[in-house]
Amino acid sequence: MGQRYVFSFQDGDGKNKKLLGGKGANLCEMSQIGIDVPPGFVITTEACLDYLQSPDGELPASLMNEVKEQIKLVEKATGKGFGDAKNPLLVSVRSGSALSMPGMMDTILNLGLNDNTLSGLIAQTGNERFGYDAYRRFIQLFGKVALGIPDEPFDEALSAIKVRAGVTSDVDLTTKDLKEASMLFHRVVEERTSKPFPEDVWEQLTTAVKAVFRSWMGKRAVDYRREFNITTDQANGTACNIVAMVFGNMGNDSGTGVGFTRDPATGENKMFGEYLLNAQGEDVVAGIRTPKAIQAMSKEMPDIYHQLEELRDRLERHYREVQDFEFTIEKGTLYCLQTRNGKMNAASMVRTSVEMVEEGLLNKEEALLRINPQHLEQLLYPRLDPKDAPEPLAQGLPASPGAASGRCVFDADRAETMGRSGEKVILVREETKPEDIHGFFASQGILTSRGGKTSHAAVVARGMGKPCVAGAEGISVDVAHREAQVGDKIIHEGDIITIDGATGNVYLGEIATVEPEFSKELKTLLGWADDLAKLGVFANADTPDDAERARSYGAVGIGLCRTERMFNAADRLPIVVDMILADTAEKRQAALDQLLPIQRSDFVGILKAMSPYPVTIRLLDPPMHEFLPAENELLKQLEDVRSLRQTVNNVHSTLDSLKLVDPSILASYLEKPEGLQIRLVHLDANLINETQAKRELMLQRVRALRETNPMLGHRGVRLGITLPEIYIMQIRGILEATAECVKQGVEVHPEIMVPQVSSVSELIWVKNYVDEVRQEIEAKEGLKLDFKFGTMIEVVRACLTAAEMATVAEFFSFGTNDLTQATFSFSREDAENKFLPFYQEHALVPENPFESIDVKGVGRLMDIAVQDGRKSRPDLKIGICGEHGGDPASIRFCDYVGLNYVSCSGPRVPIARLAAAHAKLVKAGYDK
Ligand code: PEP
Ligand code: MG
């Protein structure tokens, strides 16, 4: 027997999402645990890939035979016949890959209808209007998806009928109108394809399966996979589900809807959903009619509501995960059409994780693992400042939380263009469609005037963590005139608006936002993460304020305090410049003496803010020229000073001339101090001379300091060795600050870290400074200083000589920013601006090595350094302070190679805490 491509819902493996797609696998699983799913079967993702690769564009040879067998089973289960004119079986043909990509691929409903079977359907249901409604929907959808005809000609034909009938809504169309629509739609197909609409149901089915498979490579799907980094390992090809149709539009005892087992916006343990009576599923999802809240069903259809609640409980107990399900009620019978894990915002994920542990549905490990650490970033999103909330312009549904301001744009293409050029935009649409996806990527937020909380716009925005307000019905969008009307106000394209996805409010203009706070649930969850994780999470922070913020995010140490940032503050920079310009040792020392008390108080502040946690302070790293203006800037300044002197001279001679013309005019000018030119007369020429002399000296120094390759030049420890006074001042600042804290009874643990070290000799050299200063302070203060001395590991040679390094260093901290540059011989800025995007697109590098540790190269060096370092000093403390310290994949690697901690920017600390727990729970394996 050849390869098997088709599985019925009764025998497909519900766990094999790669083969059957998420939807197909879940349909199998639900059918097998006894949930009411309409009969059907799945064609595998392998069939899709074989089809996409086949040179002749044909489905695999055996496929349709298998499909025929399965259709027979569905016929048996439903008692209907596919293509049977009296009792027709209609099916839906649905896409579904291993990872959910909502709305990105195609689906066809009502397949199996033709002029013959239509009469059967009408006879069966006794509802001619329903029959024609189903028919015209099918022709349009099949025409669009399978035959590639755009919506416009169909929409135009239907609009013309509506105008003539004097109605605005589809529901008001009569049987006659819909009959005419079917006829006109047939004509559209014939005109556009030069062929009649396929009457043969098997031809329909084959064409539809091919179209669904092709939608895997459609632009929207490809863009979506690229944006979300979906690899072929995660999802490869789409499966195709063929399911017996059930109809939610068979009257008022029918309906359709979508449900979440918990509220996806808040995480509250309460069924959430929306439904429409007498409608098909697409009406809810596309947002064409505004649906009702599911709770309204408890009055409208109490029995079905009760069944839905049972369904919700069964789904959650079985999947042990919040489910997002679709259902249809056909003449009083409830069917579940699909279920999948609910996409939720981070706040709801956190809340449901904590509550599901409390309810005994999950254990703590499972609760942690179900949250993608990166997702927590959303919780750091700003919300509108309650103090700055004017009257809203309009109100819609709070469809995806967060607040955003931007220029409103009425179509996705323009949003993309403006977004790319760096503008902040809000995409404003009547309703969105999957083809708008590129506009979503480019926008800060999405606003629609129609549709509910489960409309396309809402689902996609939630998945992306972007704010969305949906169904703001007070806004009428006029794309043609590029404006929207709200009451008597007109909003033009380009006007700035603000949307608040947490309340559904829309405002004119930009509104201030405030930083979010940690919820109780997030604290609980991250507490569990800390208990489990092996890695500690530190923060990179340069000021006491930064340190305090990092602490509030849960950092248990500072892994990197970059002292150069302290040098750059406005009150210090002039002193630093004086130090650089000093032409004698005395002058340099005078500047350093001024800097010392400032640095000391910086260190006292940061050590106290972090007490009793460790604070790793790095001695000065960048080359000196970074503290001076650029050469061309200095040249410009000098030119300006010279022209100022010229202006002053000119004013003097102007005054002399005036005296000749009329001395009284001159006298009156001199009385008026507001005359700038006149006031320049009093400018002290010495001041100009001094300014000029200083700039000239700077220029000279800038030229003297110029290096061919400053990043590999006179910087870091090399500077500290050749200009010892700077490092000695900094070391003194740190140790005096330590002594001061100790005297005040504050527990502090400073760690002095040397950057750019490539040999143990350099480290010994600097250690000598430390020992000298330490002895002096200990003797003077009569106390023992407790601190660590260690090194950055950011140079390849440091990794390879780690055993020697560790004889002197008490700790290592990987500077993976520099180490990555050094390992690849890429300069980060040049790489990211020039060739790296191309390299990534063409898989020349697996991902950006500056974001995620390159395991094979940089990772190998780290591994060597860890192993060798601990051979000479078994208790060597090792961390990482490059950007990678906040990246979950890199954190996993850090755990794997045995680091003690990771250090990242403050706001990434919560992400790193969760990632550190994941790293411990999911032991990664790496090829060596
Ligand atoms: C590093 O190189 O990783 C590092 C932390 O140092 P910087 O980014 O300051 O060069
Ligand atoms: Mg560095």
pLDDT tens-place string over residues 657-675: 888 888 887 777 777 655 6
Please tell me the residue having the least CA distance from ligand 1 atom 6: 815
Q: Could you tell which of 795, 814, 816, 818 is best to mutate to test the pocket of ligand 1, judged by most ligand atoms within 8 Å of the CB? A: 818
Residue 831 is given by DSSP the state I
**Rounded distance, CA 12 to CA 316, Å?**
21
Considering 1-15, 197-211, 340-354, the range whose residues carry the highest mean pLDDT is 197-211
Site of tokens 């819902």: 9
Q: By the 8 A CB rule, do 749 and 614 touch?
A: yes
Residue 106 has a pLDDT of: 85
β-pairing verdict for 877-880 and 901-905: parallel
Q: Phi, psi at residue 858, to the nearest 5°? A: -60, -40
- Please give the distance, rounded to the nearest whole angstrom, from the Cα atom of residue 814 to the centre of ligand 1: 9
Residues 6+ apart with CB under 8 A from 411: 429, 439, 479
Report in angstroms the alpha-carbon separations of 44 from 11, 13, 95, 244, 677: 13, 11, 10, 18, 84
Residue 290 is given by DSSP the state P
Residues with beta carbon inside 6 Å of ligand 1?
560, 562, 621, 794, 815-818, 881-882
Q: By the 8 A CB rule, do 142 and 204 touch?
A: yes
pLDDT tens-place string over residues 130-140: 899 999 999 99
Q: By the 8 A CB rule, do 511 and 390 touch?
A: yes
**Rounded distance, CA 738 to CA 780, Å?**
13
Closest CA to 851 of 928, 906, 904: 904
Q: Which helix (H) or strand (E) holds 613?
A: none
**Rounded distance, CA 377 to CA 911, Å?**
7
Residue 67 has a pLDDT of: 97
Residue 462 has a pLDDT of: 67
Q: Phi, psi at residue 188, to the nearest 5°? A: -55, -45
More confident residue, 2 or 603: 603
Q: Compute the average pLDDT of residues 181-210.
A: 96
β-pairing verdict for 496-500 and 505-508: antiparallel
Residue 667 has a pLDDT of: 77
- Answer whether residue 30 shows pLDDT above 90: yes
- Please give the distance, rounded to the nearest whole angstrom, from the Cα atom of residue 818 to the centre of ligand 1: 6
647 pLDDT band, cuts 50/70/90, is confident
Which of 9-18, 708-717, 909-918 has the weakest average pLDDT? 708-717
Closest CA to 811 of 885, 768, 743, 750: 750
Residue 288 has a pLDDT of: 64
- Please give the distance, rounded to the nearest whole angstrom, from the Cα atom of residue 431 to the centre of ligand 1: 46
Question: Which residues are bridge partners to 905 per DSSP?
Answer: 540
* Type of residue at 17: K
pLDDT tens-place string over residues 558-569: 999 999 878 877
Residue 676 has a pLDDT of: 53
Residue 422 has a pLDDT of: 87
Atom of ligand 1 nearest to the CA of 560: 5
Tokens standing for 615? Answer: 């604070």
Q: Which helix (H) or strand (E) holds 824?
A: helix 816-824
- Please give the distance, rounded to the nearest whole angstrom, from the Cα atom of residue 796 to the centre of ligand 2: 12
Residue 584 has a pLDDT of: 86
Please tell me the residue having the least CA distance from ligand 1 atom 1: 815
**Rounded distance, CA 43 to CA 45, Å?**
7
Residue 239 has a pLDDT of: 96
Residue 926 has a pLDDT of: 75
Residue 285 has a pLDDT of: 60
Residue 267 has a pLDDT of: 92
Write down the pTM of the prediction. 0.76
572 pLDDT band, cuts 50/70/90, is confident
Atom of ligand 1 nearest to the CA of 813: 5
Q: By the 8 A CB rule, do 258 and 86 touch?
A: no
Residue 509 has a pLDDT of: 92
Instruction: Please identify which of the residues 408, 468, 741, 881 carries the catalytic annotation.
Output: 881
- Answer whether residue 222 shows pLDDT above 70: yes
pLDDT tens-place string over residues 344-395: 888 899 999 999 999 999 999 999 999 999 888 778 766 787 677 688 999 9
What percent of the chain stands above pLDDT 90? 65
Residue 531 has a pLDDT of: 97
Residue 126 has a pLDDT of: 84
Q: Could you tell which of 568, 620, 817, 851 is best to mutate to test the pocket of ligand 1, judged by most ligand atoms within 8 Å of the CB? A: 817
- Please give the distance, rounded to the nearest whole angstrom, from the Cα atom of residue 819 to the centre of ligand 1: 8
- DSSP characters over 562-609: EHHHHHTSTTTHHHHHHHHH--SHHHHHHHHHHHHHHHHHHHHHHHHH
- Answer whether residue 709 shows pLDDT above 90: no
Asked if 881 is an active-site residue, the reply is yes
Q: By the 8 A CB rule, do 357 and 369 touch?
A: no
More confident residue, 573 or 556: 556
Closest CA to 492 of 511, 508, 472, 471: 508
- Answer whether residue 442 shows pLDDT above 80: yes
- DSSP characters over 632-684: HHHHHHHHHHHHHHHHHHHHHHHHHHHHHH-HHHHHHHHH-TT-HHHHGGGS-
Residue 454 has a pLDDT of: 63
pLDDT tens-place string over residues 470-487: 989 899 999 889 999 998
Count Cβ atoms below 10 Å from residue 130 Cβ, excluding itself: 20
- Own/partner contacts of 222-229, CB < 8 Å, gap of 24 or more, are 223/437, 223/438, 223/441, 224/101, 224/104, 224/437, 225/101, 227/441, 229/847
**Rounded distance, CA 644 to CA 650, Å?**
10
Closest CA to 379 of 355, 344, 353, 347: 347
Instruction: Please identify which of the residues 438, 456, 625, 918 carries the catalytic annotation.
Output: 456
Q: Compute the average pLDDT of residues 102-123.
A: 90
Over the chain, what is the mean pLDDT? 91
Closest CA to 527 of 913, 918, 922, 916: 913
Closest CA to 913 of 923, 901, 924: 901
The angle at the Cα of 180, spanning 178 to 181, to the nearest 5 degrees, equals: 60
**Rounded distance, CA 435 to CA 105, Å?**
10
Atom of ligand 1 nearest to the CA of 562: 9
Please tell me the residue having the least CA distance from ligand 1 atom 9: 562
Atom of ligand 1 nearest to the CA of 821: 2
Q: Angle, to 10 degrees, between the axis of helix 45-53 and the axis of helix 201-214?
A: 90
Upstream peptide bond of 724 is cis (omega within 30 degrees of 0): no
Residue 927 has a pLDDT of: 62
Closest CA to 407 of 360, 357, 442: 442
Report in angstroms the alpha-carbon separations of 805 from 697, 722, 876: 40, 20, 11
Which of 215-219, 240-244, 527-531 has the weakest average pLDDT? 215-219
- Answer whether residue 716 shows pLDDT above 60: yes
Please tell me the residue having the least CA distance from ligand 1 atom 7: 817
- Please give the distance, rounded to the nearest whole angstrom, from the Cα atom of residue 881 to the centre of ligand 2: 9
**Rounded distance, CA 172 to CA 368, Å?**
50
What percent of the chain stands above pLDDT 70? 96
**Rounded distance, CA 478 to CA 767, Å?**
71
Q: Compute the average pLDDT of residues 246-262.
A: 91
Please tell me the residue having the least CA distance from ligand 1 atom 4: 815
pLDDT tens-place string over residues 449-471: 987 776 778 767 765 668 899 98
Residue 411 is given by DSSP the state S
- Please give the distance, rounded to the nearest whole angstrom, from the Cα atom of residue 816 to the centre of ligand 1: 7
Atom of ligand 1 nearest to the CA of 884: 3
Q: Could you tell which of 717, 758, 794 is best to mutate to test the pocket of ligand 1, judged by most ligand atoms within 8 Å of the CB? A: 794
Residue 435 has a pLDDT of: 72
Q: How many residues does the chain have?
A: 928
Closest CA to 915 of 896, 926, 928: 896
95 pLDDT band, cuts 50/70/90, is very high
Beta strand residue intervals within 734-787, DSSP E: 749-754
